[in-house]
Structure 1
Amino acid sequence: MRKRTVYVWIVAIVCFVVLMIVTPAIPQNEAYHDFADHREFFGIPNTLNVVSNFPFLVIGVVGLVLCYYRNYFKLSMQGELWGWTCFYIGVAAVAFGSAYYHLKPNDARLVWDRLPMTIAFTSVMSIFIIERIDERKGTISLIPLLMTGIISIFYWRFFDDLRPYALIQFVPCIAIPVMAILLPPMYTHSSYWLWAAVFYLLAKVEEATDKVIYEWTHHIVSGHTLKHLCAAMVPVFLTLMLAKRSIETERQSLLQTWRVSWTKVKENGSLVENYTCSYSTVPVVESP
């Protein structure tokens, strides 16, 4: 098992090195800072893009408190507690980092927007490894994953190359839904992971269509503002999952659960009621 883990890490590192060699650098596009909504209210520049980060602070603080308040989330392993602590710290820090960036968007401030998001991403990956693969490996991976995320941010800042940061964002977006579907969960309510993934995907679409949405809504709200609100739904769903879940006694993946449900639906749909009919002989009466 230990050899297999080493092989996995070697393959991952080799793939990363090859990717860095064969792909060109991805510089930060300065047009990224040109958001659709520049309106100012109450003396706050880019007001809606700034204040729409407030939900991150609320859910981050709530989640962090519940992690430690009488073990409300019923976290059974120390690694889980550390992972979720880092996650909620990252979520709460997004509120400050993103608000700071949107007050005056530029590359220097963008570091403080992306850094807490990266902490949240990498913490979730560690949590998933703990829950779905192995507790010890997941706990050990927390620090290396966090450091990898932080290094990716500073690599972009100093070398103007977004490739490592893009991987940090891209890999969890693919790996977490796939792992949620294929690997048996330790806890119930595993489908909340998929709801969180859906809202994150929606947030990315809204980010890409910032100006389009601003035009569609007749300059009421921009896509980037909606992106903040949808992205904040990710920790909301994960917090609901933590509050509701319990230990899964019969561990089976979501894919297996769906197969069983689909089989039952098909069987119910193919059931045909059988009717037994008996016929009696009708006497023939001859006419006189």
Structure 2
Amino acid sequence: MRKRSVWAWGVAIFCFIVLMIVTPAIPQSQEYHNFADQRKFLGIPNALNVVSNFPFLVVGLIGLVLCHHGNYFKLSLQGELWGWTCFYIGVAAVAFGSSYYHLKPNDARLVWDRLPMTVAFTSIIGIFIIERIDERKGTVSLIPLLLAGVISIMYWRFFDDLRPYAAVQFVPCLAIPLMAILLPPMYTHSTYWLWAAGFYLLAKIEEAADKPIYNWTHHIVSGHTLKHLCAAMVPVFLTLMLAKRDIETNRISLYRSWRISWSKTKENGAEMDSHTCTYSSVAVEESH
């Protein structure tokens, strides 16, 4: 098992090196800082983009309290508590880092916006390894994953190249839904992972459509503000999942359970189609 782990890390590092060789550098565009909604309220510049980060603080603090107060989430696997603790710390820190950035958007402040998000992303990958693959491997991988996230931010800041950060951000976006669908879960309610992934995808779409959404809503709200609110739904759904879930007694993947449900639906439909109806003729007596 240890040899397989070494091979897995080796393949991942090799693929990353090849990606860095064959792809050009991606510098940070300064247009990124030019958000659609720059209105000032109560003396706060870019007010809605700043205030819309508040839900991250609320969810992050609630998650931390429930993790450590009486083990409300019933975290029993090795490393789970540390993984979820890092995740909720990252979520709560997003409120401060993103607010600080949006008060005066520039590259120097963007570091503090992206750093807590990276902590949350990489923690989630470690949690998934703990739950779906191996407790010990997932626990051991938490620190390297967190370091990889921090290094990707530092690499971008010093070399103006977003490729490592893009890999750290988007690999979880692909890996988590695939792992949630294909790997047998340890706990129930694993569809909440897909809800969380869906809201994150919606948030990225809203971020890309910042100015069009601002125009469509007649300058009421921008896409970036909505992006913050939708992204905050990710930890909300994961917190609900933790609160509701139990140990899964029948460990089958979502993909397999969907196939079983689809097969049963087809069989039921075939049975309904196979029923035949017979009609008997009824003699009608003529009246005189």
- Give yes or no for TM over 0.5: yes
Pair 1:166 & 2:166 matched:
yes
Q: Distance in 1 between matches of 2:11 and 2:276?
A: 63
Q: 1:278 to 1:71 in 2, by over 3 A?
A: same
Q: Secondary structure at the match of 2:79?
A: helix
- Using the size of structure 1 for normalisation, the TM-score is 0.95
Match of 1:188 in 2: 188
Q: 1:207 to 1:276 in 2, by over 3 A?
A: closer
Deviations 1:44-75 (A, max 9, x none): 00000000000000000000000011110000
Q: Secondary structure at the match of 2:189?
A: coil
Offset of 1:78 from its aligned partner? 3.6
Match of 1:44 in 2: 44
* Aligned residue identity for 1:222: S
Q: Distance in 2 between matches of 1:160 and 1:104?
A: 20
Offset of 1:160 from its aligned partner? 0.4
Deviations 1:195-232 (A, max 9, x none): 00000000000000000000000000000000000000
Match of 2:89 in 1: 89
Match of 2:251 in 1: 251
Q: Distance in 2 between matches of 1:110 and 1:277?
A: 74
Q: 1:268 to 1:103 in 2, by over 3 A?
A: same
Q: 1:185 to 1:277 in 2, by over 3 A?
A: same
Match of 1:80 in 2: 80
Match of 1:12 in 2: 12
Aligned residues of 2:35 and 2:211 also touching (Cα < 8 A) = yes
Offset of 1:252 from its aligned partner? 0.3
Residue pairs, 1:225-244, within 5 angstroms: 225-244=225-244
Residue pairs, 1:106-121, within 5 angstroms: 106-121=106-121
Offset of 1:271 from its aligned partner? 1.2
Deviations 1:66-106 (A, max 9, x none): 00111100000240000000000000000000000000000
Offset of 1:10 from its aligned partner? 1.0
Pair 1:34 & 2:28 matched:
no
Residue pairs, 1:188-207, within 5 angstroms: 188-207=188-207
Q: Secondary structure at the match of 1:271?
A: helix
Q: Distance in 1 between matches of 2:120 and 2:203?
A: 16
* Aligned residue identity for 1:61: L
**Percent identity between the two aligned chains:** 78
* Aligned residue identity for 1:70: G
* Aligned residue identity for 1:127: I
Match of 2:68 in 1: 68
Q: Secondary structure at the match of 1:101?
A: helix
Q: Distance in 2 between matches of 1:275 and 1:161?
A: 68
Task: Single out whichever of 51-60 and 77-86 deviates more from structure 2.
Answer: 77-86
Task: Single out whichever of 185-194 and 259-268 deviates more from structure 2.
Answer: 259-268
Pair 1:155 & 2:155 matched:
yes
Offset of 1:12 from its aligned partner? 0.9
* Aligned residue identity for 1:42: L
Match of 2:145 in 1: 145
Q: Distance in 1 between matches of 2:232 and 2:264?
A: 36
Match of 2:286 in 1: none
Q: Distance in 2 between matches of 1:277 and 1:198?
A: 50
- Using the size of structure 2 for normalisation, the TM-score is 0.95
Q: Distance in 2 between matches of 1:276 and 1:31?
A: 70
Deviations 1:121-153 (A, max 9, x none): 000000000000000000000000000000100
Q: Distance in 2 between matches of 1:62 and 1:277?
A: 64
Offset of 1:7 from its aligned partner? 1.1
Q: Distance in 2 between matches of 1:267 and 1:237?
A: 34
Match of 2:265 in 1: 265
Q: Distance in 2 between matches of 1:244 and 1:164?
A: 35
Q: Distance in 1 between matches of 2:278 and 2:14?
A: 73
Offset of 1:264 from its aligned partner? 1.2
Q: Which runs of 4+ in 1 moved over 2 A?
A: 272-280
Q: Distance in 1 between matches of 2:114 and 2:278?
A: 74
Alignment: residue pair count? 281
Q: Distance in 2 between matches of 1:5 and 1:26?
A: 31
- What is the RMSD of the two structures over their aligned residues, measured on CA atoms? 1.4
Residue pairs, 1:49-60, within 5 angstroms: 49-60=49-60
Offset of 1:11 from its aligned partner? 1.0
* Aligned residue identity for 2:220: I
